[in-house]
Each structure stands twice: as C-alpha cells, then as structure tokens.
Chains A and B, each alone.
Chain A
C-alpha cells in the first residue's frame, strides 16, 4: 500500500469528474436567483430525477446535503442545534442535520446559501421518516408539497394495485404540480429521452458493481460503491453526464481487471484481498475514512452491499423504460431496496454471498434508520443459517458523530475477521 500518500488522497479520473459534476450542481442550485430555475427537494430512494428534469427543474436532495455535512464534520453541531429546538434525540439524524443546516443559513458546500425549494416532492418510498421530514420542511418553508405515496411491498411482490396507485398519483397529482410550479407543460418525449439515458447509465453501473464477482475484486462495493452510486442516485440520473461518467468509470474498472488490481482506496491500491464481505446497511459518514481504513488495513474488501441498492435495485434486472415511462417510474419507486420486505432482503443477501463468493455478512446497523435496522438481527441469523457463512453486527449512525465509537467498531471487526479465519481453517482441516 502507498503509505506515502497520507495527506493527498489518491483519485482516479472518474472521481475527479464526479467531484466536478457535484460542484456544478451545487453552483446551479445556489444561483437560481440569477438563472430563474426552479428547485424541487426530494429524496434519494424514489428519486424522480428524469421527471423533475423534464420540467427544467433542479433536484436538491436533503440526505445528500446531510451526508456532505457529515463528511465535512459539520453535522454534529447541526444535530445538536435541532435538538435544542425541540427535535428528539431519538429520531433520524439526517432530518436533524437538515433542519440544523437551515438554522445556520442553509449554506451549501460551495459556501453559498441554498435557495428555498419551490416544491417539496415527497416520494415516500421505503422510509416512514421521509413523510414527517417533508412535513417538517414544509413547516419551515411553507412551500408547495407533492406527495407520492409508494406502497410497501409487504408480500415481496409489486401488485397491479400498487403500480396503478403510483401511476395515478404521478399522472394526477405529481405531474400537474410540477407543471404548475415550473410553468412548463409536461412533455412525455422529454421524459422518454431522460429515461433512455438513465437505462444506459444503469447498464454500466450494474457492470461496475458486478465486477466485484471477480476474485480479486477490482472495486470495493461499499466504501467505493458510495462514490459509484453518487451520480445515479442523485441529480444526474437521466443525463448525458451520468452516461459519460459511468462509461469512464467502467473503462477504469476494466483497466483494473486487466492489470489485476484490487480496489482503490484513499491511500492507493489495495495490495491484498484477504476477506470478501457483503455489507448490509448504510455507512457512517462522520468517520467515513477512518471506518473504511479499518477494512482496507485488514485486507477486507466489500464485494457487494445493499446500501448501493437504496436508490434503485438495478442488478436484479430493472431498467428505466422509455417505452413505458410512467409505469417504469412507478416500478422503480416500488422496487427500491428498503421498500422490499425482509424475506426478500434476506434472499438478496444470501444470493450476494453466493454469487460474489463472499466470506460472510457484516451488518452496519444505523441508529437513525429503522427502515434498514429494524429486523437486521433476525436477518443476520437467517443469512448465517442459509449460507453457513459467519456474520457480524456493528452499530454506528449516519451523521451523528456521537454514535461512532471507533474502538468498539474496530474491536468487533477484528473479532469478525478472526472468526472468518477460524471458519476457513476449520474448512481446510
């Protein structure tokens, strides 16, 4: 490992490209006063970016802002500020970081103030908290809200009733509101074009994620994965920029495979792949680098993760479909990872362990996120039972630094790696 690069983070061209894309998006968001562009705030799961863009609107994602603040270690103060204003210490820290950010001037990472949203597009997909989060934002901003209720697939299937319900809401509630707020008439051909671009980018994203089936994996599908999903889970799905980004990224990964390289880390290429893991749950953002280092220092590579499916499950075949635009958006929302029932999630984990030849499962259980976390202990037992592979459980939070105990997490990880070693030795014997 390149230990000399301790201060300078090693970056590939796709990373630089992504950074520029995100910066441009924040510049676009913070210059709406000059450009006259309208802004829709919405969420990552159930993100209707193609639709929003078809009205010429910009997309602002409060979770991404919270992540940004978490990674820049600003979220802690924001959360405490929200708690001082009456928000419970028990609830989601994304919400509190978002509300805390507003109280501190709503400053974007480029140092300029975020504009108030023109529309809160509440895509209620896979997470109850979203609903109250947007009610809280509406309470603060007083702007128009469009609600898209996406039913939970409690029986593990998307029924016609669910799909029709979402389609009807899109046609009769969401689209008319977008038309009214943007002043632009709905153009289905523009939407189709955006969806066509989405599908192209999705093909390449899936290829990238599935490249981890190689033993030795050229990517880390969790810590690296969160960068790979960045454009498609945020403001860029349905854009040529995203298509280009994923083409470049794919090229880089192809090169890595050819050269027999492992994943790239902030300290350079990983020299060794000792453990192959599947990870369930979002990462911790406030100590992201420190958390990641605990893995790559031990030669642990995450070959598949469920967090990279939270904004869309593409590796099981779904693609946005320009021929059935509205239905396709409905199916996308209904199929997001946390909108799937627990037996389906267990099945996905089981398959990932088999398909990616993983040594086991690690669950990063997030205090803030009951949508992910409630039931994970049973999921862990079930996956262990079905695969015979060891599983482990750690607990952190999304953006609240008070809930990241590095020593605790490290201890548990080290014990887990020992457990994997023992399992291997026992098998070899």
Chain B
C-alpha cells in the first residue's frame, strides 16, 4: 500500500465531521459505547479496557460552519469550545455516550459544566490530573481519579473493568506509542519522506479509529514511507510549539512546510505520545498509569513546572533531539496556557541562541499568505545567518 492511499483514507476520516467510522464501529455490535475526549490527554487504556471506543474530539476545524456555537461564547474566547458545541448542537456527537474534559484550561474546564447542562443524559467527567509530581501526593491523588474514571465507565457499561483487561490495554497502547515514536523519529531523521501534513493526518486518524486499526495503519505507512523515494528540499528544520489543544488548519501545516520549514517535531495531538515511554503492563495498572503520567509524560503549558530551571527544558530537548534549527511558536488565539507560557519559552530559546518566531491562528484560519511569508522569512534568516 502506498503512502498516498493511506493518507487518502486518513484525510477522509479527518474531513468527516459526522464521525462515520466511529458510528460504524458502534453500530457493528449491540451495546458498544463511545467515549469522547478533548485535548490534551486522557488515559485511553481505561476506555479501551471497558470495551469502549475512545474518540478524540478536537474541534470542528476549518470545514465546520459555526452558527450555534458562537451564541455560547464571547468573541474573546478561543474557537475550539464553540466548534465543539456546534458539533454537539448539530447532533454530530449524538452517538457519543460519554465526554471527558481533561484539565487544560478554564475554558475546557467550564465546557465540562456546559456539557452537563446541555446533555444531562450523557456521562460527563472533568478529568483532573495532578500538578504535584510526588508519588505519595500527586500520584496517589491521580490514582484515585483513575479509579473514579474506571468505576464511572464500568457503571455506564454495566461491567466491571478488571486489572487484566487494563493491563492488556496498556500493552496495546504501548505498541501504539512505540510506533508513534518510530514515525516521529523517522520524520525527524528524514522529514522529506514523511511530510508534516501526512504525519498529522496519520496521527489524527488515531483519534477516531480503534487502536488496533490505527496500529496497522501506522505500520503500513511507515513501511511505505521507507520504501518511497521523495526529493529532499533545501528547507530548515523547525519545531512547532503551542498547538497542543485547538488544532491548526491542515493548510497551515502545509504552508509552513511549503515556505521552507521542515517540521521535525511538534505538539499536535499529544494524546498519542503523551506518555513518553512504555507503561509497565504488569501489576497495578492504575498505579502504573499514574506513575507514567507523573514521571514519564510530555510537557505542555497545561502542566505546572516545578522549577524555574525546568521551564522550557522539554522544548529545548525536543530541539536538540530533532536537530532543529529554530522554533515556531504557533498558538491558537486566546489560548491562555500557550500564550502565558510563550514569553518564558521564548526567553529559554534565546538563552540558547535558538531562533524563534511566533504567530497565532484559529482552527478556521483561512489566510495563509501571512503565515507563509513569516515562516519563509524565518527559514531564509536561519539559512543565511544561523
């Protein structure tokens, strides 16, 4: 199978705002349930172990006309909650049995309460994560939160979720995480063979497909990408930072690459690689998930950074590990976490003489020319002066 065939399928899934694949999965067997979740991270293993389908809901993108959603939000609030409401109000999420709203910012947090009021029959949970990273404090708290999630889903399903099922799910998700890491490493090594837009679509497919299917798809893609010969361009290598929640339009990702920047790392769709290493699949699964979150998870502005020295280290490592030449801070308009953190990250990059630029976008941004110009100038300056 060629990369283009796989990416065509991913693109179909990406453009399908009715979530047909997830609907079909649900309809294939009586009693199946689908649990939606928002960025940045939820432990999909628990949903999977319950026999349910985790469904990533990351807004409506640039193809969804938001009519009702705007009536729920003031102009100074980002777009992802309004397009998510639009998805709900237009019944595109009417097959979803539960919605999880992870701790990321006040807007998504409050959306959990709105969802409770709008859809009283749906299982709705604000999913909190610890900002204390000590095992017996934050770890213990988080383990209990995971227990509550497990028990809530078990009640919804009418079946107990056993440790054996959880450990089996952890194993499957370990497999997926390993593949995701492999693809990211492959792209970082040879970005012309795995364009950012393709990798993005491939990762995005993982939000709507059963994990087993996604694993096969990623394996096929990697195999095909390795086999294909694509021309290398004289582009510089950049890391994208700040796009961990509301997603940029696909055209924006393409525009950055077209303007002469290879994206060699990013923080899109972090749920697929939030946990940086394999999770121990033996013993107490909830404790293992909790410890993995505390000690082996990615960093974003949604997390508390325990020391001044640690701020920006994750990004710095990403730049170093991917041999990047610069950073593009691309955050959604009105994104509190990303925009509040940006000055600190920018200072950290400056301290290490890493060139950086920043701009804002919305998931429905349409004008790419300014982005192309800015990114193109950035690429030129790196090539000329760095």
Contact = CB atoms under 8 A, between A and B. Distances in A.
A149 B145 contact: no
Contact of A149 (B77, B113, B131, B346): B131
B343 A382 contact: no
A95 interface: yes
A375 B111 contact: yes
A164 B308 contact: no
B343 A136 contact: yes
B336 A341 contact: no
Interface in A53-89: 85-88
Interface stretch (B22-30, B102-110, B183-191): B102-110
B123 to A, nearest CB: 11
Given A155-B126, A172-B137, A377-B71, A133 B113 contact: no
A387 B382 CA distance: 61
A139 interface: yes
Given A151-B141, A152-B128, A172-B137, A135 B111 contact: no
Contacts of B145: 161
Interface string A360-373: 00000101001101
Given A91-B340, A151-B141, A161-B148, A371 B106 contact: yes
B183 to A, nearest CB: 31
A94 to B, nearest CB: 12
Contact of A373 (B77, B117, B137, B344): B77
B72 A86 contact: no
A346 B117 CA distance: 10
Interface residues of A, number: 53
A149 B304 contact: yes
Contacts of A128: 104-106, 109, 336-337
Given A135-B341, A378-B117, 17 more contacts: A87-B343, A90-B76, A90-B360, A92-B336, A129-B340, A136-B340, A142-B308, A173-B134, A342-B117, A346-B117, A367-B74, A370-B105, A370-B336, A371-B106, A374-B73, A374-B109, A375-B113
Interface in A126-155: 127-129, 131-133, 135-136, 138-139, 142, 147, 149, 151-152, 154-155
B308 to A, nearest CB: 5
Interface of B: 71-74, 76-77, 81, 101, 103-107, 109-114, 116-118, 125-126, 128, 130-132, 134, 136-138, 140-141, 144-145, 148, 301, 304-306, 308, 311, 333-337, 339-344, 346-347, 360
A124 interface: yes
B74 A341 contact: no
A327 interface: no
A385 to B, nearest CB: 10
Nearest to A88: B339
A382 B311 contact: no
Contacts of B343: 85-87, 136, 139
Contacts of B148: 159, 161
Contact of B337 (A95, A132, A341, A371): A132
B89 to A, nearest CB: 11
Interface SS, B side: helix
Contacts of A341: 112-113, 116, 126
Given A86-B342, A343-B116, A377 B72 contact: yes
Nearest to A377: B72
Contacts of A395: 74
B81 to A, nearest CB: 7
B118 A370 contact: no
A169 B103 contact: no
Contacts of B360: 88, 90
Of all A-B residue pairs in the complex, the 6 with the closest CB atoms, nearest first, are A342-B113, A154-B126, A132-B340, A165-B141, A149-B131, A88-B339
A43 to B, nearest CB: 14
A17 interface: no
A377 B113 contact: no
Contacts of B128: 151-152, 154
A285 to B, nearest CB: 18
Contact of B125 (A133, A135, A136, A154): A154
Contacts of A378: 72, 114, 117-118
A90 B144 CA distance: 35
Instruction: Choose among B113, B125, B140, B337 the residue with the greatest number of A CB atoms under 10 Å from its CB.
Output: B113
A256 interface: no
A216 interface: no
A169 B336 CA distance: 26
23 contacts: A86-B346, A88-B360, A90-B360, A92-B336, A124-B304, A128-B105, A131-B304, A132-B337, A139-B343, A142-B308, A149-B130, A149-B304, A154-B109, A169-B137, A342-B117, A346-B117, A370-B77, A370-B106, A370-B107, A370-B110, A374-B110, A377-B72, A378-B118
Given A342-B117, A377-B71, A395-B74, A139 B109 contact: no
A343 B113 contact: yes
A282 to B, nearest CB: 14
A190 interface: no
A371 B110 CA distance: 7
Nearest to B303: A131
Contacts of B114: 342, 375, 378
Nearest to B77: A374
A342 B126 contact: no
Interface in A175-189: none
A168 B137 contact: yes
A2 B131 CA distance: 53
B112 A161 contact: no
A365 B75 CA distance: 11
A169 B132 contact: yes
B341 A132 contact: yes
A91 B339 contact: yes
Given A139-B311, A147-B306, A132 B72 contact: no
